[in-house]
Amino acid sequence: MTGKRALIVLAHQEKTSFNYAMKDAAVEALRGKGWEVTVSDLYAMNFNAVLSRDDITGSPTDPSNFKYGAETFLAWKEGCLAEDIVKEQRKLEAADLVIFQFPLYWFGLPALLKGWVERVFAVGFAYSYQTMFSTGPFQNGILNFCGFQVLAPQISYAVAHIPHPARAQILEGWRKRLDEIWDEKSISFIPNQDSDIVTLGVNMAAANKG
């Protein structure tokens, strides 16, 4: 595995957190195997997670009706995406392995990581309307959708409520998995046979009956 490159995308604000410990364990284990490891620490980078017209340089094709997907697609083709987006895309292009390290908030990605995905996984760069893979949650609807070979998640449950020896065992298990991670088989997903492009507008309402 010498010569392989890994990118760790970290989305946790606290350096004393277990997520940071998992990141550190991954860096140590992979570098010990000869990997080159890059870390995108989104909080430390103060990464901008908000989509806007500033995500392209130069003038949009239709300033009166800015369509983010169309404009960023053209910007990607013309080399006119914002510098911070391009930097992250280059990291992804260089990586043989990408690890997303994050806590689960409200059954989903932290807002900062979701914004990173929305800005960095731009149409054209990460997928095209001719290569829609599948739909679903993060592993399927984002990673598999964009053509990643997705490995099984490493889930650590309730780490804030377990003793230190148990957390140490979790970290050691993670290190051992990383020793052989390049040989793991990816998850299989049911292919999406429907090639139609569907744009969904979702309105959600919740009743507070407390």
What ranges do the domains of the chain cover? 5-183
Model pLDDT, residue 207? 53
Q: What is the dihedral of CA 149, 19, 110, 66, to 10 degrees?
A: -60
Domain over 5-183 is classified CATH 3.90.550.10: no
The neighbouring-strand residues paired with 56 are 81
Model pLDDT, residue 50? 97
Token look-up 């995500």 returns 55
Alpha helices for the chain (secondary structure H): 18-32, 68-78, 83-94, 111-120, 164-179
pLDDT one-digit tens code per residue, 62-75: 889 999 999 999 99
Which strands make up the sheet holding 5-10, listed edge to edge?
36-41, 5-10, 97-101
Quick check: helix, strand or coil at residue 108? strand
Q: Is 127's pLDDT higher than 60?
A: yes
Nearest by Cα to 22 from 41, 35, 36: 41
